[in-house]
């Protein structure tokens, strides 16, 4: 079976990777899809987010990274993807994910399965990592070394360019 792990991944964290690794053990093929949600203000471009994911998942032979444009269910239909996999950190995630799962099912009949995030990473969010990094905090324990370096580079560039 073919599964998809969609998300913003801005940037990918150990929490995301935990879910991707577990999905890769459950399904024949896993597509990690980097979405562009127009309501969000991203730190990294879609290409940068996809590159960080490709690097972080390079050891997983059945995992591929792609960019997601348009509706997730259309993407899944075109690529014959059977299941959407989402990670759940806490009850708040569930409410939103349930609504999305029900909408996606109503639109296309695709199933969503939700994996509880490892407790170790339950406090992580890309939003918080961006905030900590912007304010000069150390985020190295939450992301891969390559992602930490990209964050450092981004902060240095943004500070030079006058972006907070």
Q: What is the set of active-site residues?
A: 16, 40, 89, 126
Q: Which is nearer to ligand PNS, 108 or 144 (CB)?
A: 108
Q: Does the N-terminal peptide bond of residue 11 adopt cis geometry, omega within 30 degrees of 0?
A: yes
Distance in angstroms between the alpha carbons of the first and the last residue of the chain: 44
> Across the chain, how many H-helices and E-strands are there?
6, 5
Q: Which is nearer to ligand PNS, 96 or 149 (CB)?
A: 96
Residue with the closest Cβ to ligand PNS? 35
The least CB distance from residue 156 to ligand PNS, in Å, is 25
Q: Does the N-terminal peptide bond of residue 76 adopt cis geometry, omega within 30 degrees of 0?
A: no
The least CB distance from residue 128 to ligand PNS, in Å, is 13
- Furthest C-alpha separation in the chain: 48
User: How far is the C-alpha of 150 from the C-alpha of 69, rounded, in Å?
Assistant: 24
Binding site for ligand PNS (CB under 6 A): 6-8, 35, 37, 68, 71-72, 100, 103-104
Q: Which is nearer to ligand PNS, 72 or 139 (CB)?
A: 72
The least CB distance from residue 35 to ligand PNS, in Å, is 3
User: How far is the C-alpha of 63 from the C-alpha of 42, rounded, in Å?
Assistant: 24
């Amino acid at each position: 079976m073919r599964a998809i792990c969609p998300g913003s991944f801005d940037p990918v964290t150990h929490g995301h990777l935990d879910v991707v690794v577990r999905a890769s053990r459950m399904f024949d093929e896993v597509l990690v899809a980097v979405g562009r949600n127009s309501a969000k203000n991203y730190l990294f471009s879609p290409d940068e987010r996809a590159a960080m994911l490709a690097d972080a998942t390079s050891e997983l032979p059945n995992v591929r990274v792609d960019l997601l444009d348009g509706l997730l269910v259309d993407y899944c239909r075109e690529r014959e993807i059977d299941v959407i996999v989402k990670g759940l950190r806490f009850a708040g995630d569930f409410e939103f994910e349930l609504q999305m799962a029900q909408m996606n099912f109503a639109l296309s009949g695709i199933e969503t399965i939700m994996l509880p995030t490892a407790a170790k990473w339950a406090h992580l969010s890309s939003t918080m990592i961006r905030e900590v990094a912007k304010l000069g905090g150390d985020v190295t324990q939450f992301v891969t070394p390559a992602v930490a370096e990209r964050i450092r580079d981004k902060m240095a560039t943004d500070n030079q360019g006058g972006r907070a």
